[in-house]
Chains A and B, each alone.
Chain A
Amino acid sequence: MYQQPNERGHYGQFGGRFVPETLMPAVLELEAAYQSVKDDPAFLETFHYYLKDYVGRETPLYYAERLTEKLGGAKIYLKREDLNHTGAHKINNALGQALLTKHMGKKKVVAETGAGQHGVATATACALLGLECIVFMGEEDIKRQKLNVFRMELLGAKVEPVKHGSATLKDAVNEALRYWVSHVEDTHYIIGSVVGPHPFPQIVRDFQSMIGTETKSQFKEKTGKLPDALIACIGGGSNAMGMFYPFVDDASVKMYGVEAGGHGIETGKHAATLTGGSVGVLHGTMTYLLQDADGQITEADSISAGLDYPGIGPEHAHLKEINRVQYVSATDQDALAGLKLLSETEGIIPALESAHAIGYLPKLTKTLPKDATIVVCLSGRGDKDVETVKGVLGGQSYE
């Protein structure tokens, strides 16, 4: 049976805890706190209460008939994480970690955000539970995602713009880590993906794994079987990890992680860490990274702010190494095409992140038999991206 990570927080050669000594006690405290609640019925009952009555779980598993017809291949199902409160899967983890914050007796929370979805989710969970919240966000992303910034402010969070480097998600993580180093005694860091030092990748995976668990039982109810394939988009990789993890031991289920190919892997302007990167240490973990010949981290490039990250969760690096998941990529153009395709065939506007998974479907369905089944993790809705998409497609659609 698949069992990761080990007691040191390593997934094969990946993972670990590469943080300054000042943070080590907090990381160890978090690990102890998480171990004490992860199987505690009272904690889980509270978590599930909010997931059901507040977030609106479980989310539907929907057979996308018109999309299936249009692509003319395998049957496509959508796991509708876009229907969660706040519009994406991010709320699952934010809520779990906010409850953990309270359990540890801390009253303040710091978070980073790229597209703003994790920032909104964290601000929401903090408003719900009465926690103080500060969110670091790159200036470039603030420009791309103005509405989400305003949402966070309405929810009572403080949004701190980050000007350094590429002024995107990587730099927001750096600043959130620096803030945490300085405020570690009363603040918890709610990291938004399966990245960072152990135990974060494990905590985030576990708090997202209801995606896969629900999918499994919903699919069984509909068809009596397991799906033949799962597909999800990957930046840090939390929605994919949540979807994949409960299926890792089901050898018949193929899994595909779709990274952001940006302008195309061959151009060097992309965010496809596993396809175009190499192993290194960033933000507390050993994993695949985009880096130059001297080990300096390079800038990622994607139309989607949420995938614009030069690292990836260490467990994905491990799943690649053991050949359990196939990692592929979809370009900005593929994602835009995917967004239009799903909007026109199913009346669902996906987030640009999720549109990468949709954008890869035309290629994937060709490789599978017609009676095969695919579940797509539709991680978020596209309301936040409408302006960006209008900027790119506007001419064609409105003239």
Chain B
Amino acid sequence: MSKQQLDAQFKNVLDRGDKLFVPYIMAGDGGLEKLNDQIKFLETAGASAIELGLPFSDPVADGETIQQAGIRSLKAGTTVKGVFETLKKSKGHKIPIILMTYMNPVFHYGVENFADACVEAGVSGLIVPDLPMEEESMVSEIFKAHDLALIRLVALTSPKSRREALKKRTEGFLYAVTVTGTTGERHTFTERVDHYLEDLKQGAHVPVLAGFGISTPDQVKALSKHADGVIVGSRIVKALHDGDYQVIESLIHASKKND
């Protein structure tokens, strides 16, 4: 799915009054043969897109839950190529697939080859958490030429000037990190978060999604109020691992206007 189709789909969701909900799943957690079914399930449950994690041995931005999922996936034999092959085998997913991985697997695959493989597998965009704008020239031109969205992350610690620069550069959506820390469930968020999200939304040319630490339907509602939607990672990964599908459905439902 192209970057333009991703933009159009997100606009549709927002136009009908719902908020965006992007679940994160770890490719190959439970075996790659389950991946397309997992995506199908999330699509049917009402997810707006999938953030698909490619496992990396040293994920410094991730907390315990996603680290463990990555270890399980690598132990099950997941490879970058295997993930692309699996996505190609599906009959095409109706919602955008966004890959999330660290710089080394992309670099090692070859940035150009990686971008080609993304296009062939129907991937719409990428999130690379250890690639700040200072280093993004390594991939940005190539991704642009392949019509892949490079989704930038902005942090609570980013000063105003960086927030504005990232807001301007990002494609697809702006990933607003809502905790000063790694991924993983949190009970509370700092009071600054509401204002931070509102501020990011001002003049943004793409939707602003809040992510990191969000794990309950109440949090989905509370943070969506100040953003265009949320990304939920660790809680989804845990629920999929435990086979707890109702938890996932209620999280997604919390992003709908009729919830």
Q: How far is the CB of B235 from chain A (nearest CB, A)?
A: 19
Q: How far is the CB of A297 from chain B (nearest CB, A)?
A: 5
Binds A, one of B6-14, B43-51, B103-111, B115-123: B103-111
Contact A25 B158 (CB under 8 A): yes
Q: Does B203 contact A (CB under 8 A)?
A: no
Tell me which residues across on chain A come within 8 A of B104, comparing CB atoms: 280-282, 289, 291, 295, 297
Task: For A296, give its contact among B61, B74, B155, B182 (CB under 8 Å).
Answer: B74
> In the complex, A127→B180 CA distance in Å?
28
Q: Does B191 contact A (CB under 8 A)?
A: no
Q: Does B80 contact A (CB under 8 A)?
A: yes
In the complex, chain B residues 65-118 whose Cβ is within 8 Å of any chain A Cβ: 67, 74, 79-81, 102-109
Binds A, one of B18-26, B33-41, B125-133: B125-133
Q: How far is the CB of A299 from chain B (nearest CB, A)?
A: 9
Contact A19 B108 (CB under 8 A): no
> In the complex, A196→B87 CA distance in Å?
34
Q: How far is the CB of B155 from chain A (nearest CB, A)?
A: 4
> In the complex, A117→B244 CA distance in Å?
46
> In the complex, A164→B67 CA distance in Å?
9
> In the complex, A15→B153 CA distance in Å?
22
Contact A297 B132 (CB under 8 A): no
Tell me which residues across on chain B come within 8 A of A18, comparing CB atoms: 103, 130-132, 135
Q: Does B162 contact A (CB under 8 A)?
A: yes
Contact B105 A22 (CB under 8 A): no
Contact A181 B180 (CB under 8 A): yes
Q: What residue in chain B is nearest A289 (Cβ atoms)? A: B104
Binds B, one of A170-178, A252-260, A326-334: A170-178
Contact B158 A291 (CB under 8 A): no
Contact B155 A17 (CB under 8 A): no
Contact A16 B134 (CB under 8 A): yes
> In the complex, A141→B199 CA distance in Å?
46
A8 with B57: in contact, given A22-B157, A295-B107 (CB under 8 Å)?
no
Contact B108 A291 (CB under 8 A): yes
Q: Does B166 contact A (CB under 8 A)?
A: yes
Tell me which residues across on chain A come within 8 A of B243, comparing CB atoms: none
Q: Does B197 contact A (CB under 8 A)?
A: no
- What is the size category of the interface that chain B forms with chain A? 35 or more
> In the complex, A281→B103 CA distance in Å?
6
Tell me which residues across on chain A come within 8 A of B152, comparing CB atoms: 21
How many residue-residue contacts, CB under 8 A, span A and B? Answer: 114
Tell me which residues across on chain A come within 8 A of B67, comparing CB atoms: 164
Q: Mark A1-31 against chain B: 1 for CB-CB distance below 8 A, else 0.
A: 0000000100000001111111111100000
Q: How far is the CB of B72 from chain A (nearest CB, A)?
A: 13
Contact B182 A24 (CB under 8 A): no
Task: For A295, give its contact among B109, B130, B155 (CB under 8 Å).
Answer: B109
> In the complex, A243→B194 CA distance in Å?
51
Q: Does B177 contact A (CB under 8 A)?
A: yes
Q: What residue in chain B is nearest A296 (Cβ atoms)? A: B57
Q: What residue in chain B is nearest A26 (Cβ atoms)? A: B157
Q: How far is the CB of B76 from chain A (nearest CB, A)?
A: 13
Tell me which residues across on chain A come within 8 A of B58, comparing CB atoms: 165, 170, 174, 282-283, 297
Contact A20 B153 (CB under 8 A): yes
Contact B157 A25 (CB under 8 A): yes
Tell me which residues across on chain B come within 8 A of A185, comparing CB atoms: 157, 180
Q: Does A371 contact B (CB under 8 A)?
A: no
Q: How far is the CB of B35 from chain A (nearest CB, A)?
A: 17
Q: How far is the CB of A282 from chain B (nearest CB, A)?
A: 6
Tell me which residues across on chain B come within 8 A of A8, comparing CB atoms: 134
Tell me which residues across on chain B come within 8 A of A279, comparing CB atoms: 107
> In the complex, A178→B74 CA distance in Å?
21
Q: Does B31 contact A (CB under 8 A)?
A: no
Q: Does A276 contact B (CB under 8 A)?
A: no
Q: Does A182 contact B (CB under 8 A)?
A: yes
Q: How far is the CB of B228 from chain A (nearest CB, A)?
A: 19
Q: How far is the CB of A115 from chain B (nearest CB, A)?
A: 20
Tell me which residues across on chain B come within 8 A of A156, comparing CB atoms: none
A283 with B109: in contact, given A182-B182, A291-B104 (CB under 8 Å)?
no
Q: Contacts A174-B58, A184-B157 given; 15 further ones with Cβ under 8 A?
A: A17-B135, A19-B60, A19-B132, A20-B129, A20-B155, A21-B155, A24-B132, A26-B157, A165-B57, A178-B182, A182-B180, A281-B130, A282-B104, A295-B80, A295-B107
Q: List 8 A-B contacts (CB under 8 A).
A: A8-B134, A19-B60, A21-B154, A22-B157, A22-B158, A170-B58, A181-B61, A185-B180
Chain A interface residues toward B at CB < 8 A: 8, 16-26, 164-165, 170, 174, 177-178, 181-182, 184-185, 279-284, 286, 289, 291, 294-297
The 10 closest A-B pairs by CB, nearest first: A295-B108, A182-B181, A22-B155, A295-B105, A296-B57, A21-B155, A281-B103, A297-B57, A177-B60, A281-B104
